[in-house]
Amino acid sequence: MVGLLPQRQTGLVPEPRCQGKLDYFPWQTNLALSYYRQHEEKETRNRPSRLPGRHQRSSPYGRAQRGSSKEEVGHEGIPAQDAAVGQAGRQAQKQREEERWCEVSIYKRSDNGIYWFKYMANGRLVRVSTHQTSDKTARKMEATHRARTAKEHDDEQAARERLNCSDVARCASCEKLFDAHTMVSDGSNQVFCSNGCIIKWRREHTAIPTVGEFIRDRFEPWARTKFQKEATRTWDSWYEPGIKTILSYSPLCDRLLMEVTSEHVAEFAAHIRTEGLAGRPLAAASANARLRVLRRSFRLAVEWGALDKAPKVKLESGERHRERVLSPEEEAKYLAAGCPLLADVATVLVDSGMRPEECFRMRWESETWVNGRHGTIFLAHGKTKAARRVLPMTPRVRAILEARWEQAGKPEEGWVWPAETKSGHVEGFTFKKQHRKALNSCGVRPFVIYSFRHTFATRIAPRVDAWTLCKIMG
């Protein structure tokens, strides 16, 4: 085996076993190398565009590399031939002094016939594949690339002068040139001109969730923590069915959150109205409940920065506001379950048909004990003329109000239902918790406080004409 013999003893120069692979030379002496180079150069002369890797090693473009290569060869006394240069290379060498920062040459790789070009830019050798096998196209691309590089160079020069700094960098987000000393980094190898640009870049480059992912991963956990324990009813009758319905409709859920438009929402609405859940179409009110949950999720997505603009959610028309009317039994159960203040207010409401806020704003100076059979309530602060009216008291309203009046020390004026609120009297929220508590303990099907007004109107309607009813209701 030749490979085992030291070269100095034999004085032989081994034939390269496999051209193009230096590893096959067990003794990498200068002599062996220069022998190999001669062979290689001969070859390269015939095919000047062979193997870009070796080109680079003996290329005329890198001054230092070229220098060392010459020295190595010269040491053995073999004249160096810059064979790898080729016609294009020699021309480039001539031009180098004029175009120090940018020289381009084009060459073809022998293994796949793809054209590459390379050039020096700002002391760096840049090699670019054109991915083309046609030299015409490759040359065109090279020209374009060259023009662009030249323009970038000019821009950078101009920016340096304009910003009066030694070094400029290009922001990865807004692509503007800025003083490199003021750069901000996000920890990666990208540079940015400002923190705002980092945020913008992140928003553009982090994975955008689908509607389903957003609802499952962010919206549902939020709704659970906010409502499941504190407002069980809201969770059970509102969020849970809404989330379930949205997640069951994959054409909407599989869409990217940012892609969703009002059209996709309308498709979803149409689907639940016609196909519905498990083949049962949803009524307008139920569909709207789901759509409101969807709308809430879009608005939160905007609030949380996952979405730029919430798509419009158009509610279905034809939602019937079924007006809940209480039966006398339900009313009695509720009044028994409510705390005294709530029971009193509820009694006044159900016997007078006042709007809740009219009742909350009642004042002693507006009550008259002697008018009518049991006294009257004057509502002076209506929004419209019709809302200002006098209502008769029923015996139990008279009893409640009189007892409260006496308890308060028979005041001449002041709020009938005083409370420690900003306004000084009770408000809707005063009864929110107590109303829910009363509902839970009395077992009556849920209703809202406003239902007392409907209940009153329904009860009185058969006994009065429409005109009087309007007058009473205000």
Interface with Zn ion (CB under 5 A): 171, 173-174, 193, 197
Tokens of 399: 């009893």
Identify whether the C-beta of residue 357 lies closer than 8 Å to the C-beta of residue 468. Answer: no
CB of 156 to Zn ion, least distance (A): 16
| Torsion sign (Cα): 303, 306, 309, 315 | negative
Of the two residues 169 and 300, which places its CB atom closer to Zn ion in the complex? 169
Distance CA 217, CA 135 (A): 53
Of the two residues 30 and 182, which places its CB atom closer to Zn ion in the complex? 182
CB of 205 to Zn ion, least distance (A): 14
Tokens of 442: 């009395």
CB of 196 to Zn ion, least distance (A): 7
Of the two residues 197 and 359, which places its CB atom closer to Zn ion in the complex? 197
Distance CA 268, CA 249 (A): 7
Phi, psi (degrees; rounded to nearest 5) at 310: -75, 130
CB of 183 to Zn ion, least distance (A): 10
Secondary structure, 3-state, 211-227: HHHHHHHHHHHHHHHHH
CB of 242 to Zn ion, least distance (A): 40
CB of 304 to Zn ion, least distance (A): 24
Of the two residues 114 and 180, which places its CB atom closer to Zn ion in the complex? 180
Of the two residues 171 and 272, which places its CB atom closer to Zn ion in the complex? 171
What amino acid occupies position 46?
A: N
Of the two residues 20 and 196, which places its CB atom closer to Zn ion in the complex? 196
Nearest to 73 by CA among 41, 27, 26, 25: 41
Distance CA 312, CA 22 (A): 68
Query: Which CB contacts under 8 angstroms, 24+ apart, belong to 138-142?
Result: 138/106, 139/106, 141/117, 142/104, 142/106, 142/117
Q: DSSP per residue over 263-282, as a string?
A: HHHHHHHHHHHHT-BTTBPP
CB of 177 to Zn ion, least distance (A): 10
Identify whether the C-beta of residue 415 lies closer than 8 Å to the C-beta of residue 362. Answer: yes
CB of 197 to Zn ion, least distance (A): 3
Of the two residues 192 and 219, which places its CB atom closer to Zn ion in the complex? 192
Identify whether the C-beta of residue 310 lies closer than 8 Å to the C-beta of residue 302. Answer: yes
Of the two residues 191 and 272, which places its CB atom closer to Zn ion in the complex? 191
